Amino acid sequence: MQNKGNHSVHPHPAASLWPAMGKQELAALAADIKQHGLRQPVVMHNGTIIDGVHRLKACEMAGVAPRFVEYDGDASPEAILAYVASCNRHRRHLTSDQLAAVAVAADAYVQSLRVAAAKRRKSGKRESTIPNCLGKVADKHAGEVDQQLANMYGTNRRYVGALRTLKATSPDTFDAVHAGKKRLSAVLREQRTTEWMRRRIAVPGNLPKASDRYRLVASAIADATRHVEPASIDIIVTDPPYGEEYIPLYSDLSRFAQHALRPGGSLVCMTGQVYLPDVLSRLGEHLTYQWAISYHMARHQKARIWLRRVIVNWKPLLWFVKGTYTGDLVTDVIECPPDDGDKQHHEWGQSVVGMERIFERFSLPGQTVCDPFCGGGATGVAAVRLGRMFVGMDVDAHCVDVTAQRLADLAGKKK
């Protein structure tokens, strides 16, 4: 509320839709008015300010007497909204996010006028003029309305639609975007990340108890197809041995994955880099190469490959697919947390938490995952803890026994 002579004046609702000017911007405006005077008068309509709210504040700050003029254009709400938009959208440094937020606020204002008009009609009172080119009109598609609003306020239709949803679901966040305190892109990215994580950690209510979520088999990879039904596995996450003598196993792994994976299913294979070209060639015999994920290791887990004079900071996670992958976007770096890995259960054991991060990236609760080189059981523990179904195999029966004991202990805690 501000003074016009001896009278208090308020901004018109159409003017109040626009974000308040920042302190520095307002101070700069006041300094300019003090030096050069008020160049554009404050525009009034029926005792309210429709243009010049901040100019009037700046005049008071500068000690300069403001000048007022009366708006003499079309007095319909539609025309006043358009006039205020034309006064503000070009001369204020607002982002497209903020302009879209103003458009959504204007639409909400129009809807309030419609509700008020409907109440007056119901009570038998005369209905005032209501804008008919804005708002959700029954015979218009929402996208058409958003496009009209975007055109009027000089912004993007998709921004208008996104902010309309945001206003309904998170008013405080909408207000932050409107005020320029948050960017819409950052908000949407945060929402996608939150939803992405929710889908990956929300365990289905009908999931079997932990003791019924795993099956273990002592089997060589060459015979693994005998123990798994065709197209029954959603993802294979495994860490086969890396030595040159083990390279043929990757052909067996590729053949098994082609048999066991559902269409579009993934094989994520951790491997070393000494024989990487051979491994890539073998895995590609029956699968389609998708990408290589960088698995960053904690400092104390870094190895020295003296043969190649390299200190290893990361391992490749080779991502192959049966057919075509149609899932979510995947970031190609995974950070392994600084823990002790899984060496107490197997000399080549990996971090359980690291495996959990891989499962969270590539699978959903309730899906079936498999590790045909399960070793000390890190993948099995990670899978069961995250609500996945697990099929584990290893050629070494002792490894299967170790994994079975770890999962039995885990299942006891999950009861």
pLDDT tens column, 333-381: 998 776 555 556 555 567 888 899 999 999 999 999 999 999 999 999 9
Residues 313-325: tens digit of each pLDDT? 889 999 999 999 9
Separation between Cα atoms, residue 47 and residue 50, nearest integer Å:
9
Domain residue spans in the chain? 2-195, 210-414
Q: Give pLDDT, residue 138.
A: 42
pLDDT value of residue 135: 46
Helix (H, G, I), strand (E, B) or coil at 319: strand
CA separation for the pair 16, 54 (Å, rounded): 11
Q: State the CATH architecture for 210-414.
A: 3-Layer(aba) Sandwich (3.40)
pLDDT confidence of 137, banded at 50, 70, 90? very low
Beta-bridge partner residues of 296: 314, 335
Cα–Cα distance measured from residue 369 to residue 358, given in angstroms and rounded to the nearest whole number: 11
Cα dihedral 275, 276, 279, 281, rounded to 10, equals: -120
Structure confidence by residue, pLDDT tens digits, 218-236:
999 999 999 999 999 999 9
At 2, the pLDDT band (50, 70, 90 cuts) reads: low
**% pLDDT > 70, the chain:** 87
Please identify which residue in the block is written with the tokens 């895995």.
Answer: 283
Contacts 24+ apart (CB under 8 A), 335-338: 335/296, 336/295, 336/296, 336/297, 336/298, 336/301, 337/298, 338/298, 338/299, 338/300, 338/301
Q: Which residues contact 394 (CB under 8 A, 6 or more apart)?
A: 218, 219, 372, 373, 374, 375, 400, 403
Mean pLDDT of 126-150: 63
Burial class (CB in 10 A: 0-12, 13-18, 19+), 170: middle
Structure-model confidence comparison of residues 109 and 300, the more confident one: 109
- In sequence order, what are the residues at sequence separation of 6 or more whose Cβ sits closer than 8 angstroms to the Cβ of residue 288? 320, 321, 322, 323, 324
Residue pLDDT, tens place only, 175-210: 999 999 999 999 998 888 777 667 666 667 777 888
Q: What contacts 79, CB < 8 A, 6 or more positions away?
A: 73
SS (H, E, C) 173-232: HHHHHHCCCCCHHHHHHHHHHHHHHHHHHCCCCCCCCHHHCEEEEECCHHHHHHHCCCCC
